[in-house]
Amino acid sequence: MQYHEAVEETVVGFAIALLIGALIGIEREKKLRAPGEQTATGLRTFILIAQAGAIAAWLSRENDQPLIFAAVAVACGAFILAGYRAGLSAKHFGLTTEFAALVTFLLGGMCLYGYPQLAAGLAIATLVLLAFRDELHGVVERLGWDDIVAGLKLLIVIFIVLPLVPNEPVDPWGVINPYAMTWLVILIAGLSLAGYIVARWLGPRKGTAVTGLAGGLVSSTAVTLALARRSREEEPPGAAATLAGGILLSWAVMFVRVVVECFVVNSSLARQLALPMGIMAAISLSGALLNQRAGVKLRGAQSLQLRNPFSLFFAIKFALLFAAVALLVNRAQELLNERAVYAVAALAGLTDVDAITLSMARESDHERAPVAVTAITIAVLANTLVKTGLAWGLGSSNLRRRVVPTAAVIAAGAVVSILVAR
């Protein structure tokens, strides 16, 4: 039985290796070959490279001789180098294909060394890097030096500051843990930074809907503010519907983001939170789609100037806000009652939903889960009502007629979900 399982594992490993070589080879051949021309490295070459890596790994494993794989890797590298030198005479100066070939060889080896799933995942990542070359270069072009510095600061916090932060509570109630707080700052900054990069990658030409989707990861409040203001500046027929769709899409992203944040801290609570957030997201998404269908195609909101979400000021502000909210939630739970917790949640949600979401996720256990779900839902509802007020006060009359009814349905859905959770 073990023999058959070993044979099956080997066959699957070889099959995955060949598939990896074929996928990368197809991408390279499509990218490099001009009509009517031949390219030195294409589908067949990459399949053979992956097969060479798989066979070398299998021989090394079966004979307990790691040098076999190393020798074949050196030989493969020599052939790749020779191909690069030949390409220089044809004014081919890039190394992308050559390194792709080397990666393909190593991925083929991983499949036979017992890591086929990891190899497949890395192959997909490699294909993304190869296939989206122009888009990735576009991201680099749109990023400014301040954005690069902000990314470096985030890396410094993760790999230098975080290991030095004490991992024990510093307050009498055991609520404020500097290490945990730093991790939560990194989580929020990372999610926001991902949305910021997507927004900069896509740029304003991709449309208001995409602006709402990407901007919702950074700040749905900023999206609401910018699109509401734009509705007063530009009023062609159907513009208000398009802008309302962008606003509601950013809200839907925010509801999903709350569940993701909670899942990272408390996965069991996130599963219970998925119902109310899912209801609110579904209503918001439905309203967005209806408005997008009724709208006209607009360029992205040029007035939406998203700033890089990570800065020292952001980190300090969020850490202080989280500490204050966490202390209030803890004291309300221990000394007061559920209503006090809900009041804290509503108050915190007026400005930010991340702090209360993470605080409740950390503080809640199985018994307190219903209270935590209700509190987070109340905070999200309060935040949504604030954004509705922004749309009402800053937007055009046509925008109000499209955003406010949907917001009312979202509020009704939130109330129903709260009653169900109780």
> In degrees rounded to 5, what are phi and psi of residue 388?
-60, -40
Question: Tens digits of per-residue pLDDT, 9-29?
Answer: 888 889 999 999 888 888 888
205-264, pLDDT tens digit by residue? 456 666 777 777 777 888 888 888 888 875 565 678 888 888 999 999 999 999 999 998
Alpha helices in 295-396 (DSSP H): 312-335, 338-349, 354-363, 369-394
Comparing CA positions, the residue from 92, 102, 81, 105 lying closest to residue 32 is 92
**Helices of type H across 203-308:** 208-233, 239-265, 267-294
The first and second tokens of residue 146, run together, are 């301040």
Spatial CA neighbour of 359 closest among 275, 250, 419, 269: 269
Percent of the chain whose predicted confidence (pLDDT) is above 90: 19
Q: What is the Cα–Cα distance from 261 to 187, expressed in whole angstroms?
A: 8
**Using one digit for the tens of pLDDT, what is the confidence trace for 300-333?**
444 455 555 566 676 777 788 878 887 888 777 7
Q: Cβ atoms within 10 A of the Cβ of 386, count?
A: 14
Q: What is the Cα gyration radius of the chain?
A: 27
Contacts of residue 410, defined as CB under 8 A and 6 or more positions apart, other chains included, come to: 251, 280, 283, 284, 381, 384
Residue 205: DSSP 8-state = G
Residue pair 235/242 in contact (Cβ under 8 Å)? The answer is no
Whether 36 has a pLDDT exceeding 90, the answer reads no
Calculate the average pLDDT of the chain.
80
C-alpha 159/C-alpha 165 separation (Å) is 11
DSSP letter at 158 equals I
Specify the pLDDT at position 92. Answer: 53
User: Residue 142's pLDDT is what?
Assistant: 67
Strongest mean pLDDT among 137-151, 194-208, 398-412: 398-412
The neighbour count for residue 229, using CB atoms within 10 Å, is 17
Phi/psi at 171 (nearest 5 deg)? -115, 160
pLDDT of residue 90: 52
Q: CA 91, CA 107: separation in Å to the nearest integer?
A: 29
- Do residues 124 and 185 touch, judged by C-beta distance below 8 A? no
Secondary structure (DSSP) of 106-129: HHHHHHHTT-HHHHHHHHHHHHHH
37 has pLDDT over 50: no
Considering 179-183, 337-341, 345-349, the range whose residues carry the highest mean pLDDT is 345-349
